[in-house]
Amino acid sequence: MLIGVIADDFTGASDIANTLTKGLPGEGGLLTAQYMGVPRGAAQSDVEAGVVALTSRSIPADDAVVQSLEALKWLLAQGCRQIVFKYCSTFDSTPDGNIGPVAEALAKRLGVKGVVVCPAFPGAGRTIYQGHLFVRDRLLSESGMEKHPLTPMTDPDIRRWLTRQTTEPVGLAAMETVGQGSDALREALAQAGERGETLVVTDAISNSDLEVIGAACADAPLITGGSGVALALPANFIRRGEARGTENSFAGIEGAEAILAGSCSGATRRQIEVHAKTHPTLAIDVDAVMSGALTGEQVLSFIEENSGRAPLAYSSGDPVAVAAAQEKYGREAVAARLDTLFGETARVLVDRGTRRLVIAGGETSGAVVQALGLGALRVGPEIDPGVPILTNAEGTLALALKSGNFGSENFLAKALDAMAGR
């Protein structure tokens, strides 16, 4: 294994696994596997990039550090030459963690400073300029992320946000440096390390900037960022003859299908609205779930009765309604009950023969994948930017784990068609 990734949620893991599998146009990517948590045994010998998916984004920072260091230990044991700490391209965190503490802990364990921090993903409209994160033409704090129910991002200045989370100085490699090319950026990162800056927020507004970052970090033991930061990393190994550059192939998996959505992002709510115009949908009312009036068996019955029609069950609501439910029952209680509902529903569906699953939302995806007890997943073709098809080792189950903000308006039906090879 050449590259090892520690991802702080399941959809983000799929996102960067997709990036590593694709690589740069014309050069190919790496044979990539995604693992649901830290594996107990060794990776298969042909895997060139391994992505360990954790559920560490919203847990206490100390616990996130412990989990991440455990993943690092396993990846190093597989021979990884480069580690990537992957977090969301909207830098989902709070002033108390978890991105800064985990990044610092990984850097300390690897003995490095001047480590890139770059959540940019231009293909999805996430860019960084002068250390400030934008979502398309809006600052992060004006993009809707300031209303996120778990990790409200109220400050777009990533350097300032990280300073609240970390113990050591945070640097900036601005566009003026990135625009001078990989040699200039490599030197700037080295100088930042000499100044004692462990983490360095690095500007990127286009894929060409990400290529500069990838070339500058060809020999870097540690990189942190969104999936975009990995865009050019496979090419470093391919050009040195250490990897062949793989081409993705996928024949498709037919069979019963289901869509489960727990994300409250604007993009997912719009996808639900579009899907509901032509497909059966079931709105999961939080009050009904918390009171026991709506059970998992009812959700299962709805999906199975509508098999073949791309049925969708969702708990996604507008931020005001979500906040009201959290205030009434408690944020953790609501999250735990919904996660259990979605996870158990997915497990029973697969046991009864469902072969294609689309899951929207990071926490929901984590709950589903853990309930299914899947091992290593192979990364198939991309459905939409940042969302690939994942298949189990037996090739009998196809999954799409979609971050809440990702995907085109017709993504839900489109994903099911892609899984069937259509």
368-408 pLDDT per residue, tens: 988 998 888 988 889 998 899 999 988 999 999 998 888 99
Which pLDDT band, with edges at 50, 70 and 90, does 153 fall under?
A: confident
Indicate whether 51 belongs to any domain: yes
245 occurs within a structural domain = no
Buried b (16+ CB within 10 A) or exposed e, 280-295: ebbebebeebbeeebe
Other beta carbons less than 10 A from residue 278's beta carbon: 10
Position 11 scores a pLDDT of 84
Task: Give the pLDDT confidence score for residue 418 in this predicted structure.
Answer: 96
**Listed range (17-26, 174-183, 245-254) with the worst mean pLDDT:** 245-254
Instruction: Enumerate the H helices of 111-156 as residue ranges.
Output: none
Last residue of one domain, picked from the residues 205, 239, 273 = 239
232 and 270: one domain? no
**Residue 197: inside a domain, yes or no?**
yes
Distinct helix (H) and strand (E) counts, the chain: 15, 18
At residue 130, the pLDDT reads: 98
Judge if 81 and 216 occupy the same domain: yes
Rounded to an integer, what distance in angstroms lies between the CA atom of residue 93 and that of residue 55?
Answer: 13
Whether residue 60 is found in the same domain as residue 191? yes
Cα radius of gyration (the chain):
20
**Helix residue spans in 79-138 (DSSP H):** 99-110
CA distance readout (Å), 6 to 40, 157, 276: 16, 24, 35
Identify whether 294 is part of a domain. Answer: yes
For residue 251, being part of any structural domain is answered with no
Residue 150 pLDDT > 80, yes or no?
Answer: no
Shared-domain flag, residues 208 and 299 = no
Residues with Cβ < 8 Å from 156, sequence gap 6 or more? 132, 133, 134, 139, 140, 141, 142
Query: Rounded to an integer, what distance in angstroms lies between the CA atom of residue 192 and that of residue 226?
Result: 21
Is 132 within the bounds of a domain?
Answer: yes
Residue where the block lists tokens 């009312």: 285
Q: What is the CATH number of the domain that holds 203?
A: 3.40.50.10840
Shared-domain flag, residues 137 and 283? no
Clarify whether residues 130 and 183 are in a common domain.
yes
Using pLDDT thresholds of 50, 70 and 90, give the confidence band for residue 48.
very high
Domain hosting 51: range is 3-239
pTM of the model: 0.81
- Work out the average pLDDT over 158-162: 96
Q: Last residue of some domain: 175, 210, 239?
A: 239
| Per-residue pLDDT, 315 | 92
Residue 395 maps to a domain: yes
Q: Could you give the number of structural domains in the chain?
A: 2
Class of residue 270 by CB neighbours under 10 A (exposed 0-12, middle 13-18, buried 19+): middle
| Residue 65 domain flag | yes
Task: Report pLDDT for 166.
Answer: 96
φ/ψ region of 158 (left if φ > 0, alpha if ψ in -120 to 50, else beta) reads alpha
In this structure, what CATH number is given to the domain that contains residue 318? Answer: 3.40.980.20
Which amino acid makes up residue 302? Answer: F
- Which of 210, 239, 268 is at the close of a domain? 239
Give 388's DSSP letter.
Answer: E
